[in-house]
């Protein structure tokens, strides 16, 4: 598929492979609608569609990684359950090497410079025939801001069958963000509570920021969880060494996704140049929590 850009307007053709939110001619982020193959042909199971990468700062620096060599199953911004059970069968949608489940893009519903709506599905791999167990809608919206690149993501997951999907208690999973491999220093995290990589794991902050050097300049990205989200404030999985974290409600115990009960999640992302500014990020989270831009 081809993304066409005309001045400040963007539209998606039927065959568009990538969809981007833009501010005039500057791209804020790109959603990968098409399947992106694994960088390693010997391990094709790392290929994926239905994820966000790259995300750019206002100065054009990339603050995500789509297939980091140390964790090729990390894909920029992605949403995948790690430890689930369907009809008594364990399924992992996160660790693609297991080849138990996958998440993939299905359809582009709308795309312009300010908003993208897409449909994804969560599929269980079976010897006879793959089975879709979850349908998901993502709505991505650009949020105007004077000095940082901001966009919101709303995810709505619904059961694709008349059966439940059980989510087990586990130490990571769900909405994930992966930073560049160059940030692999073990000290790149700051939370709204002032915690860092060494002490922030499984804390429950309003936002988490991750930053480091890109092309010799400091920059970063923050992720914010809305207070209406399930089990809010959601626990975060912060890896002790790698530049990634996720909002992981299953840390607090198991739960289930049931037919006719949509599972709705809201997140805000902010890509910035320079070091993270807690005052600015707190104000941005407050505006998000109160339904303001």
Domain boundaries, the chain: 3-289
Copy the structure tokens of residue 186: 């073990």
- Write out residues in the chain with pLDDT < 50, as ranges: 1-15
pTM for the predicted model, two decimal places: 0.92
Partner residues linked to 273 by β-bridges: 219
- Residue 149 is predicted with a pLDDT of 98
DSSP states of the chain as a string? --EEEETTEEEE-TT-SEEEEEETTEEEEEEE-SPBPPS-TT-GGG-B-SEEEEEB-TT--B---SS-TT-TT--SEEEE-SSEEETTEEE-SS-GGG-SEEEEEEEEEEE-SSEEEEEEEEEE--SS--EEEEEEEEEEEEE--SSSEEEEEEEEEEESSSS-EEE---SS-EEEEE--GGGTTS--EEETTS-BTTT-TT---SEEEEEEEETTEEEEEEEEE-TTSTTSSPPEEE-SSSSEEEE-GGGG--EEE-TT--EEEEEEEEEEESS--HHHHHHHHHHHHTT--
Strand order in the sheet with 77-80: 18-23, 26-32, 51-55, 77-80, 174-178, 244-247, 236-238
CA 137 to CA 18: how far, in whole Å? 17
CATH topology of domain 3-289: Beta-galactosidase; Chain A, domain 5 (2.70.98)
- Residue 293 is predicted with a pLDDT of 61
CA 187 to CA 276: how far, in whole Å? 13
- Residue 72 is predicted with a pLDDT of 65
Question: What per-residue string of b and e applies to 92-116 under the rule 16 or more CB within 10 Å gives b?
Answer: bbbbbeeebbbbbbbebeebebbeb
- Residue 292 is predicted with a pLDDT of 67
- Cβ contact 269:145 at 8 Å: no
Please choose, from the candidates 112, 111, 120, 109, the residue with its C-alpha nearest in 3D space to the C-alpha of residue 48.
120
């Amino acid at each position: 598929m081809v993304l066409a850009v005309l001045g400040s307007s963007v539209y998606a053709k039927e065959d568009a492979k990538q969809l981007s939110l833009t501010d005039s001619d500057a791209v804020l982020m790109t959603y990968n609608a098409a399947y992106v193959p694994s960088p390693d042909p010997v391990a094709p199971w790392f290929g994926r569609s239905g994820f966000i990468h790259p995300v750019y700062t206002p100065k054009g620096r990339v603050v995500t990684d789509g297939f980091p060599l140390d964790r090729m199953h990390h894909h920029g911004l992605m949403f995948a359950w790690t430890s689930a059970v369907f009809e008594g069968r364990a399924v992992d949608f996160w660790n693609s090497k297991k080849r138990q489940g996958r998440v993939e893009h299905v359809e582009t519903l709308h795309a312009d410079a300010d908003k993208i709506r897409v449909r994804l599905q969560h599929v269980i791999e079976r010897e006879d025939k793959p089975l879709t167990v979850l349908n998901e809608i993502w709505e991505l919206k650009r949020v105007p801001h004077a000095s940082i690149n901001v966009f919101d993501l709303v995810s709505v997951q619904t059961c694709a069958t008349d059966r439940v999907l059980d989510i087990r208690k586990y130490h990571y999973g769900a909405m994930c963000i992966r930073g560049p491999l160059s940030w692999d220093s073990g000290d790149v995290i700051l939370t709204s509570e002032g915690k860092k990589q060494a002490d922030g794991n499984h804390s429950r902050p309003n936002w988490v920021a991750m930053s480091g050097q890109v092309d010799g300049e400091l920059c970063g990205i923050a992720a914010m969880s809305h207070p209406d989200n399930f089990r809010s404030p959601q626990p975060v999985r912060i890896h002790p060494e790698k530049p990634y974290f996720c909002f992981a409600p299953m840390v607090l115990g198991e739960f289930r996704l049931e037919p006719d009960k949509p599972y709705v999640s809201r997140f805000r992302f902010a890509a910035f140049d320079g070091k993270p500014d807690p005052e600015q990020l707190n104000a941005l989270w407050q505006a998000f929590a109160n339904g303001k831009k």
